[in-house]
Every structure is written in structure tokens, then in C-alpha cells.
């Protein structure tokens, strides 16, 4: 079943999408064409420390955990989007009024997503001039075409911002109550829910409502707006919260995330459709094969019966064959033989139904069975021929049964392949991947905060008493934690973690080549500020003696790990990266921008690897480097 978003669905889904992707970077854009268009934006959020897949088509938008296999040929419109929007930072994503229009605003342009009628996707510059639309469209009051300034459709009243007086005017028409509410952007389902909450008959004529009844509907709309998300999946629908009008429907599952609920609802329908399609395919094949089995079973039975009849009436068949051969040896022609048999008409001759001299066969009728006898063969050879035909039929049956099993096994494999190719599930990330992290040369997990929020979370929630905490001696440093995992933390681990803390401190942005880093125990860290002072989010007081690492060099290694036809970018202190790959580059603070650094890294490593690996490196997205390279400029050793 197709889920078509109402304005209310968009209102709720954007709350989740906004929280996930605001401030993120668009890493990749995919366009899929089939029965209709659809897009998937791969967005990396530094704030969240993870990637999100934003999916949208002509009538819905949500964050998905599934990705279809990219088409072999890149659509032209998708290539335009990539040119203008890849690596752009997302500044905001909003719903225009209470319309089915979503605007994704980035540092490089605006993507307008229209989720009504046949849908459209329009790329605009910052002045809202259209760079490229997916579809060129013309109406009496507006047009969507390259070079035109994007304009909205004629406005509809926004039920969430209008006054009661304005609402009262809208509800004073000749239409049914449900129609009036639905046309505000709620659609039929939520329109019925609002009527249910207001305890108003949805089929009442709007202008016949009393002032109190109109006020109840107005209040019900306000109540809907404030509902908390408790997304609910029904057999034939998915909603951001459970509906009173669906109280008799079976609830399949509930989710804290509306996107997750939509994903679950849609993917289950896709898988079900694929399964039905596969099952029907197998069913058709098996039915054809069963028909073939019936045919060969019949042939096997008939052949065996004919062989047995020949042996049961052995003297009869032997006499017929011997007489025919003798007659031919004496020079009798076939017409003469046929005439003689017809005139005799008794005894063994009465069993001969037909002679096909050109085929070399005689048709003998015995026990109401017509048996074809080869004149050139003996009685025994004819019987053996039928037994062999029976065996052939049995072998055919066995082969068909094996083919049926093969098709069933094939369908199982195809089903897995369909699921793998058509919908790739997003990999679940480990808990520590929300932070910066690396493993030391002696395999200790080291975590680093990305911002004030993650610093606060790291220290308060993920730091245990036997861990070690490091911090660069400069304002604007992440807290770095070495997880002990029940082992004694080594000096090697501390040294590498100190380099990690130095790399991701503000020292890099300031162009410093080294910085001091200190190390403390968790119990030395406190959120309690001195009297009269205030500690902001991500800030802590350090008490007691500190272990110092002086003049720690700011040098970051970026490495490449190859696995068959894939390449993965890794980053961290030099000593840890050297242990994992022979292909790496060292970078330090400098004058090169991120894009220049990445291009130089790619070129430098590409010279040292084979042609195939060089092609893989060339395809790596800048965002795969961005997660490791600190903010600011750099240089390459």
C-alpha cells in the first residue's frame, strides 16, 4: 500500500528530520526511477556523529534505514543535484506554512520538495531562482522552469496559525465538516480523527454548526498539533500517534520515531510483495513441472504395461513377426500381405490392426491395447524397447523432481538477493561511534568528544573509575577517554591518546605545531564550579595532580585499507595507522583547505598503489576524509 503524506504527517516527520540532519553535510545523492521517482540523500551529521539516509518521493519524506541499489546509469537531474549540493552544509529544513512543500536550505542552494499531485523536486539558488527542476510545469498562476523565480502555489489557510475568527469564517460554508477540515491539509483520516475528538458528526454541514461546536473543532486541531509522537503501525496505515478512529484496528507495532514506523510499514509491504511475486513464480513453474510429471508417469505406465503384454502374449507376437518376415522373404508385397491378412480375418491375423510399412511398424491390438511393434526387431527386443521407454520416463520424472527442488532453492537465493540488492539495511553503529574514536597500538579503545554536548555525555555517562582522561592545555579541547576494559592502561596508550587530544584541539585551527596535554583520573573531574563561577555544557573543573605530556606534535595520519573491491579511509595517531596499513599520509596544521588536502592525499597515495586501487581512491567522497581531518587548514608531509 502506498503511504501518501498529508500536511500533518509532514509537520510531525520534519520534527525528527530537523533534529537529525540540521548542520549535517550532504555526502551523496541517489535518484531512482521506476513507476515514479524517488531520491535518497546520504547526510553526515557531525553533531550526531553518524550518517542519515533521507528518502523522499512524490508524496512522502522520511529518514530510512534501507537503501536501494544505485541505478547503473546516473540520471541527468541527479548529476545536477550532485554538482550543486554534494558536500553542502544543511542550514535548515522546513515545511512551507501547512502545505505539502518541504524546503531543504543549504550553504550552496535550496532544494524544494513538492509532495502533492505528481510531485516535483526543484533546485534553486539562494535567491530562489530555479537552477533545474525535475519536471517543467505550467499553471495559470505559476510556472516551474529553469531561470524562473520559484513561487508557491496559491496559499491555503494554515489551521495551526489562524485565529478563531478566521477559522469560524472557513467553517461557515455549505460543505460537510469532514470536507472542510480535510481541505485544510489534514486529509480524510485526520479530518475524521479531529471530528472524533471534538465529538462532531463528520457529515454535518459546516455552516449549521453552533459556535460551541466550531470552538470544539478548533480546540481539537490545537490538541492534534501538540500530540507527542508515538508512531503506530496498523495493517493498512501508519500514523504519528494512535488514532481514536482506529481503536478497533489491530496495532502491529508502535515506535518512538515516526520515520522508523514508516520505514517498518513500507519495507514490510515491499518484502511481502517480493515474497508473493517469488512464490507465484515458483507456483507457476511447479504447476508446469507437475503437468510434465503426469505426462511422463502416464508414459512410464503405458510402456511397462505394453512390455508385459508382449511377454504375456509372447507366442502371438512371435508368430506375427515370423509370418511377416517369411512373407517378405518369399517376395510378397505389402499390399498383398495386407490383403491376405484382411481375407484371413481369424486367429493371429485378427489382432493386426494396421501395417505402416513406410515406418516399419505393425499395430497389434491385444486386450484393447494398441501396441506398436518394430518389424525389424525380435519379440524380445520389442519388449525390451518398451521397458527401456519406461525407464527413460522414470529418469525424466526424477529429473523434473530435481528441477522443482532446484527452482525452489533458486527462489530462496533470489529472495535473499532481491532483499540484498533492492533494499540495503543501514548498518547499526556501535555505541562508541557517536564520538571520535580509535584503537591504540595495544588495542585500548580511545574516545573523544566532538563538541560541548558530546564532551558532557562522554564524561558523565561513558567514563568509568579505572579509565584515564586526557585534555589539551588549551581552551577548546575535547575530553579524551582511554577505556581500561579491566586492564592496566599502558604508557603507549597514553602517548597515542595524548596525540589524539592534541590533534582535535583548537591548537590545529590556530596553526600550532605542538601543544601540552595532561592526563587525570576520572575522580579528579568535577562539574562543581568555584563560588561565583559557572561551568557551561562540556566544561569541567580538574582537581589534583596532573600527568603531563609536553610539546605533543600535531600530526594526523590518514590511511587506506583495501578489502577486495572496496577501500576504507581510516585516521588517527601515526603509530596506530602504521600498524593497520602501508598506505598512509601524514598531515599537520598548514595553509591548505580541506578540499586541497583531500586531493593531494588522493594523488599521493594513488601513485603508490596499482591502477585498480587508484580508481577506488579516486571515487572516495570528501566526507569520508572530513570525519578525521580537524576543522581548519592543513599541510601534507
For residue 124, give its domain range.
7-144
- Count of domains forming the chain: 3
Domain membership flag for residue 239? no
Mean pLDDT over all residues of the chain?
88
Q: Does 299 reside within a domain?
A: no
| Angstrom distance (rounded) from CA 459 to CA 447 | 10
Of 277, 273, 348, residue with least CA distance to 313: 348
Whole-number pLDDT of residue 66: 84
pLDDT category of residue 159 using cuts at 50, 70 and 90: very high
| CA 550/CA 99 separation, integer angstroms | 59
Say whether both 109 and 17 belong to one domain. Answer: yes
In a domain, 92, yes or no: yes
- The answer on 108 and 65 residing in a single domain is yes
Query: In the listed set 554, 569, 596, which residue is the last one of a domain according to the structure?
Result: 554
H-helix segments, 164-313: 164-170, 177-181, 187-198, 211-225, 258-312
pLDDT digits 0-9 by tens, 263-301: 888 877 665 545 545 556 666 776 778 788 888 988 999
Residue 535 backbone dihedrals phi, psi, to 5 degrees: -105, 120
- 100 and 20 in a common domain: yes
Q: 200 pLDDT exceeds 60? A: yes
Residues 458 and 505 grouped into a single domain: yes
Give the residue-averaged pLDDT of 121-131.
97
Give the range with max mean pLDDT: 121-125, 376-380, 621-625: 121-125
CA distance 614 to 156: 54
Q: How many CB atoms are located within 10 Å of the residue 333 CB?
A: 11
Shared domain check, 570 and 499: no
Maximum distance among all Cα pairs of the chain, rounded to whole angstroms: 136
**Are 567 and 523 in the same domain?**
no
Does residue 251 belong to any structural domain of this protein? no
Q: Examine the domain organization and report whether 94 and 125 are in the same domain.
A: yes
DSSP 204: S
Give the residue among 578, 579, 549, 565 at the shortest CA–CA distance from 613. 565
> What pLDDT sits at residue 291?
82
Which is more confident, 471 or 281? 471
Rg of the chain's alpha carbons, rounded to an integer? 40
Lookup result for grid cell 600550532 = 512
Give SS3 for 364: strand
Contact 449, 538 (CB under 8 A): yes
Residue 283 pLDDT? 64
540 in a structural domain: yes
- Do 487 and 548 sit in the same domain of this protein? yes
Phi, then psi, of 457 in degrees rounded to 5: -65, -45
Which of 328-337, 409-418, 458-467 shows the lowest mean pLDDT across its residues? 409-418
Asked if the model's pLDDT at residue 439 lies above 70, the reply is yes
Report, as an integer, the average pLDDT of 27-54.
Answer: 88
Q: How many CB atoms lie within 10 A of CB 141?
A: 8
How far is 312 from 318, CA to CA, in rounded Å? 12
A 10 A CB-CB count for 240 gives 25
Q: What would the mean pLDDT of 532-555 be, rounded to a whole number?
A: 85
Grid cell locating 188: 480524510
Tell me the per-residue pLDDT of 545-567, one tens digit each, with 9 for 90 and over.
999 999 999 999 999 998 877 88
pLDDT of res. 447: 94
In the beta sheet, which residues pair with residue 29?
Answer: 41
Q: Using 50, 70 and 90 to split pLDDT, how confident is the model at 539?
A: confident
Question: What phi and psi values does residue 559 have, to the nearest 5 degrees?
Answer: -120, 170
pLDDT in tens, 56-105: 999 999 999 888 777 778 899 999 999 999 999 999 999 999 999 999 99
Look at residues 84, 111, 144 and tell me which one is the last residue of a structural domain: 144
Residue 383: exposure state from Cβ atoms within 10 A (0-12, 13-18, ≥19): buried
611-618 and 594-606 are packed helices; what angle lies between their axes, rounded to 10 degrees? 170
Backbone angles phi and psi of 240, in degrees to 5: -70, -15
pLDDT of residue 415: 57
Q: How far is CA 602 from CA 69, 560, 564, 566, 622, in A?
A: 26, 10, 19, 15, 10
Choose the final residue of a domain: 516, 538, 554. Answer: 554
Instruction: Give the DSSP H or E segment for 40.
Output: strand 37-45
Q: Is residue 383 part of a domain?
A: no
- Ranked by mean pLDDT, the top range of 347-356, 422-431, 573-582 is 573-582
One domain, residues 549 and 560? no
Characterize the bridge pairing of strands 424-425 and 445-448. unpaired
Assess contact for 127 and 35: CB atoms under 8 A.
Answer: no
Q: What is the pLDDT at residue 499?
A: 96
Co-location of 84 and 108 in the same domain: yes
What is the CATH classification number for the domain harbouring 55?
2.30.310.10
Pull the grid cell for residue 100.
505539502
Categorize the per-residue pLDDT at 1 as very low, low, confident or very high, splitting at 50, 70 and 90.
very low
User: 421 falls in which pLDDT band (50, 70, 90)?
Assistant: very low
User: Are 548 and 560 within one domain?
Assistant: no
Is 532 in the same domain as 570?
no
Whether 176 has a pLDDT exceeding 70, the answer reads yes
Buried b (16+ CB within 10 A) or exposed e, 472-501: bbbeebbbbbbbbeeeebeeebbbbbbbbb
Query: The cell 527452482 sits on which residue?
Result: 407
Amino acid at each position: 500500500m502506498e503511504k501518501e503524506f498529508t500536511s500533518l504527517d509532514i509537520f510531525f516527520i520534519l520534527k525528527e528530520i530537523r533534529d537529525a540532519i540540521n548542520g549535517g553535510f550532504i555526502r551523496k545523492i541517489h535518484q531512482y526511477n521506476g513507476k515514479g521517482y524517488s531520491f535518497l540523500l546520504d547526510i553526515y551529521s557531525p553533531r550526531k556523529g553518524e550518517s542519515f539516509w533521507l528518502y523522499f518521493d512524490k508524496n512522502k519524506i522520511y529518514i530510512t534505514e534501507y537503501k536501494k541499489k544505485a541505478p547503473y546509469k546516473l540520471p541527468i537531474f541527479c548529476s545536477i543535484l550532485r554538482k550543486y549540493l554534494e558536500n553542502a552544509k544543511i542550514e535548515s529544513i522546513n515545511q512551507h506554512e501547512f502545505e505539502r512543500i518541504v524546503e531543504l536550505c543549504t550553504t550552496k542552494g535550496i532544494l524544494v520538495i513538492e509532495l502533492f499531485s505528481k510531485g516535483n523536486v526543484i533546485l534553486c539558488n539562494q535567491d530562489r531562482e530555479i537552477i533545474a527542476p525535475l519536471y517543467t510545469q505550467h499553471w495559470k498562476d505559476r510556472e516551474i522552469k529553469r531561470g524562473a523565480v520559484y513561487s508557491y502555489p496559491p496559499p491555503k489557510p494554515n489551521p495551526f496559525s489562524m485565529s478563531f475568527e478566521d477559522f469560524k469564517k472557513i467553517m461557515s460554508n455549505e460543505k460537510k465538516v469532514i470536507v472542510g477540515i480535510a481541505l485544510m491539509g489534514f486529509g480524510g483520516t485526520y479530518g475524521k480523527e479531529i471530528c472524533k475528538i471534538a465529538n462532531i458528526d463528520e457529515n454535518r454541514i459546516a455552516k449549521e454548526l453552533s459556535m460551541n461546536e466550531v470552538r470544539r473543532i478548533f480546540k481539537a486541531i490545537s490538541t492534534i498539533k501538540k500530540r507527542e509522537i508515538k508512531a503506530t503501525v496498523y495493517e493498512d496505515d501508519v500514523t504519528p500517534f494512535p488514532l481514536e478512529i482506529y481503536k478497533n484496528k489491530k496495532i502491529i507495532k508502535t515506535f518512538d520515531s515516526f520515520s522508523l514506523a514508516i520505514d517498518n510499514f513500507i519495507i514490510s509491504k515491499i518484502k511481502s510483495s517480493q515474497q508473493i511475486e517469488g512464490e507465484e513464480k515458483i507456483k507457476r513453474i511447479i504447476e508446469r513441472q507437475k503437468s510434465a510429471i503426469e505426462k511422463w508417469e502416464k508414459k512410464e505406465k503405458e510402456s511397462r504395461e505394453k512390455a508385459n503384454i508382449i511377454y504375456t502374449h509372447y507366442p502371438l507376437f512371435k508368430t506375427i513377426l515370423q509370418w511377416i518376415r517369411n512373407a517378405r522373404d518369399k517376395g510378397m508385397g505389402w499390399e498383398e500381405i495386407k490383403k491376405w491378412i484382411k481375407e484371413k480375418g481369424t486367429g493371429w491375423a485378427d489382432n493386426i490392426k494396421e501395417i505402416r510399412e513406410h515406418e516399419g511398424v505393425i499395430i497389434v491390438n491385444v486386450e484393447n491395447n494398441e501396441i506398436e511393434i518394430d518389424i525389424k526387431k525380435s519379440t524380445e527386443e520389442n519388449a525390451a524397447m518398451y521397458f527401456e521407454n519406461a525407464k527413460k520416463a522414470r529418469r525424466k520424472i526424477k529429473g523434473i523432481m530435481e528441477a522443482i527442488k532446484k527452482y525452489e532453492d533458486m527462489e530462496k537465493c533470489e529472495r535473499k538477493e532481491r532483499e540484498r540488492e533492492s533494499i540495503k539495511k543501514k548498518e547499526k553503529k556501535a555505541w562508541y561511534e557517536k564520538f571520535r574514536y580509535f584503537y591504540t597500538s595495544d588495542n585500548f579503545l580511545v574516545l573523544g568528544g566532538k563538541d560541548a554536548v558530546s564532551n558532557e555525555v562522554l564524561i558523565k555517562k561513558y567514563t568509568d573509575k579505572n579509565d584515564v582522561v586526557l585534555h589539551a592545555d588549551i581552551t577548546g579541547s575535547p575530553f579524551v577517554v582511554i577505556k581500561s576494559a579491566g586492564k592496566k592502561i599502558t604508557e603507549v596508550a597514553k602517548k597515542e591518546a595524548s596525540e589524539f587530544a592534541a590533534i582535535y584541539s583548537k591548537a590545529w585551527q590556530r596553526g600550532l605545531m605542538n601543544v601540552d596535554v595532561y592526563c587525570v583520573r576520572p575522580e579528579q573531574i568535577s562539574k562543581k564550579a568555584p563560588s561565583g563561577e559557572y561551568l557551561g555544557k562540556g566544561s569541567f573543573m580538574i582537581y589534583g595532580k596532573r600527568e603531563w605530556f609536553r610539546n605533543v606534535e600535531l600530526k594526523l595520519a590518514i590511511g587506506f585499507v583495501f578489502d577486495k573491491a572496496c577501500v576504507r579511509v581510516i585516521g588517527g595517531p601515526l603509530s596506530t595507522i602504521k600498524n593497520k596499513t602501508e598506505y598512509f599520509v601524514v598531515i599537520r596544521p598548514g595553509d591548505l583547505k580541506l578540499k586541497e588536502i583531500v586531493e593531494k592525499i588522493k594523488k599521493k597515495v594513488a601513485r603508490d598503489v596499482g591502477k585498480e586501487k587508484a580508481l577506488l581512491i579516486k571515487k572516495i567522497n570528501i566526507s569520508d576524509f572530513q570525519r578525521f581531518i580537524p576543522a581548519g587548514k592543513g599541510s601534507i608531509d
